[in-house]
Amino acid sequence: MRNLMVALVAASMSVGGLSAQASPESDRAAFEKYFTNKFPSTPLEDFNNGVYSIDPASRAQWVEIEEFPPYELAIDAGKAEFEKPFANGKGYADCFGNGGAVRGQYPYWDSERKEVITMELAINECREANGEEPLKYSRGTMADISSYMSFISRGQKVNVVIPEGDADALAAYERGKEFYYRKRGQLNFSCFDCHGIGSGSYVRADILSPALGHATGWPVYRSKWGNMGTLHRRFGGCNRQVRAASFKSQGQEYRELEFFLTYMSNGLEFNGPSARK
């Protein structure tokens, strides 16, 4: 069994395109191929539904949940927050175009600032630019606003761009990729160990979801949480589950991880907010 796991981990590294010769697009093509081969009955466009794309029983339960989705209250609360003016009379609409339906623009590489900009980071930067206090990133009002903006952006396709010839952008992508495949914590697991090699397998009563499409459905109402959470909240939880130290939400590490993971889902539709176990 140990030898088998070693072989599988070696395979995961090749899937991730960890060789110096790989390009982001060849990484993405290999990533997509891995999951479409592993789950041949799942249409490519359905991978944005997580575990519900690969398990009929889970999907049936999810369809019932979607009749009265638990994230509706977050959408309503987020809409109210989005439309509430700041003390200076301006509002989020002055920061974001298209009425806030901008989920498809994030994350992106800011070549002047030389860093990854996520939608949640942009929300707080909008607030601070207008004299408002920043929000906590993992849950609460931030998750509500992000839920509303994601909801009105549904159907926009993932299109993360790594500017050609920008060595800093490529380095950020590579750091995100390295984070994804690096083993960590007392359990010595990587992200791909669970959601690549282990995808479709049971962990206790739950089936591990495939990594393809993982970044499309956020924020998420998790039954385990009993409330909404952002993608970086889940990143932190995953790190703690393998008994590794987590990083700060919207810190460089998680933003670059989001940059890589979202790039892997280029071409899929954003469909957040969503409900998960």
Task: For residue 194, indicate whether it is catalytic.
Answer: no
Cβ(127)–Cβ(135) under 8 Å? yes
CA distance 277 to 226: 10
Cβ(220)–Cβ(275) under 8 Å? yes
Cβ(196)–Cβ(189) under 8 Å? no
Token couple for 182:
């690096």
- Dihedral, CA of residue 200, residue 201, residue 206 and residue 208, to nearest 10: -50
DSSP 132: P
Residues contacting residue 72 through CB under 8 Å, at least 6 positions apart: none
Out of 126, 191, 194, 238, pick the active-site residue.
238
Q: Of 96, 69, 102, 70, which Cα lies nearest the Cα of 83?
A: 96
Cβ(125)–Cβ(62) under 8 Å? no
CA distance 87 to 238: 38
- Which amino acids are annotated catalytic? 238
